Amino acid sequence: MEIYDSLLKAVHDEYDTLRVLKKSARGEVSLVRHRESGTRYIFRHFEGSSEVYQLLLGLSCRNLPQIMEVGEKDGRTALLEEYVQGDTLGEILEGGVLTTGQAKQIGRQLCSALWVLHSRGIVHRDVKPDNVILRGSEAVLIDFDASRIHKTAISEDTKILGTTGFAAPEQYGLSQSDGRADIYALGVLLNIMLTGEHPSRKLVGGRMGRIVQRCTRVNPEKRYKNILHLMEAL
């Protein structure tokens, strides 16, 4: 509670808001700049649990943004996050599809990010072009607002979140989503990087097509067992 209040006060007193990046009924995401150092950060303030962000606090992984500070009070979360500068994968794909080599490199880096999340029990649940930033040659997976902790005691997700076309079938309440939901979304993303289309409309050919097909099986049991198996296949 103290961290929440002190973080709100610090952002008000010591930072300038450069622009609001996203705003919804749940909260907003802003790009802010520390007045003294000039360093830019992402400030998130939303209704919901800080559980996922607390697990990522202080973690260093080049394919994930660093979470600097997190506070929660009365069901609202405030946090300061590293600002990752670069173009989103969605912006890059507006210029055309990628080569197989490029798609595989990005795919492997996203597997690395997802392995870090999955090893902490976190399911991202919203892997898509707009949530991947290319910082030079590094792919960084951002935005954990739809993420959740996998809990063995429950049978389905408490909230249906994710992006249509990328969300695995189990995210619609069929069962509880685990790391294989992210494998599904990454399979869709690989296909879009290579064809510009969802695999249900146009499947990439050859070995990459077989990888995409396995990722996007309706039954999670028939997908890759875990993200490291997919990384190995790539």
Q: Is the pLDDT of residue 146 over 90?
A: no
Q: Is 167 exposed, middle or buried (0-12, 13-18, 19+ CB in 10 A)?
A: buried
Least confident of 29-43, 143-157, 209-223: 143-157
Give residue 21's pLDDT band: very low, low, confident or very high (50, 70, 90).
very high
Average pLDDT over residues 157-167: 57
- Helix (H) or strand (E) holding 90, with range, is helix 89-93
CA distance 212 to 120: 25
pLDDT the model gives residue 165 = 77
Q: Which is catalytic among the residues 5, 74, 126, 157?
A: 126
Q: Which of 165, 97, 100, 157 is nearest to 123 (CA)?
A: 157
* CA angle, residues 154, 157, 159, in degrees to nearest 5: 135
Phi and psi at 28, nearest 5°, equal -145, 160
User: What is the structure's pLDDT at 149?
Assistant: 87
Q: What's the rounded mean pLDDT across residues 6-14?
A: 95
Mean pLDDT of 165-191: 83
CA distance 56 to 41: 16
- Structure confidence at residue 172 (pLDDT): 64
227, two tokens: 């993200």
* pLDDT of 230: 98
- d(CA 161, CA 52) in angstroms, rounded, equals 15
DSSP code at position 196:
S
Q: Is the pLDDT of residue 64 over 50?
A: yes
Task: Calculate what percentage of the chain has a pLDDT beyond 90.
Answer: 84
Question: Which residue type, as a one-letter code, is found at position 150?
Answer: H
What would the mean pLDDT of 31-52 be, rounded to a whole number? 96
Q: Does the pLDDT value for residue 51 go beyond 50?
A: yes
Q: Looking at the predicted structure, is the pLDDT value of residue 93 above 60?
A: yes
What was the pLDDT predicted at 119? 95
User: Is residue 130 among the annotated active site residues?
Assistant: no
Q: In sequence order, what E strands does the chain have?
A: 15-23, 27-34, 40-47, 67-73, 76-82, 87-88, 122-123, 132-135, 138-141, 148-149
Q: How many CB atoms lie within 10 A of CB 179?
A: 24
Confidence of residue 148 (pLDDT cuts 50, 70, 90): confident
Global pTM reads 0.89
Residue 212 predicted with pLDDT over 80 = yes
In this prediction, residues 56-78 reach a mean pLDDT of: 95
- Cα 50 to the chain's mean position, in Å? 15
Structural domains of the chain, with CATH: 2-82 (3.30.200.20), 87-233 (1.10.510.10)
123, β-bridge pairs: 148
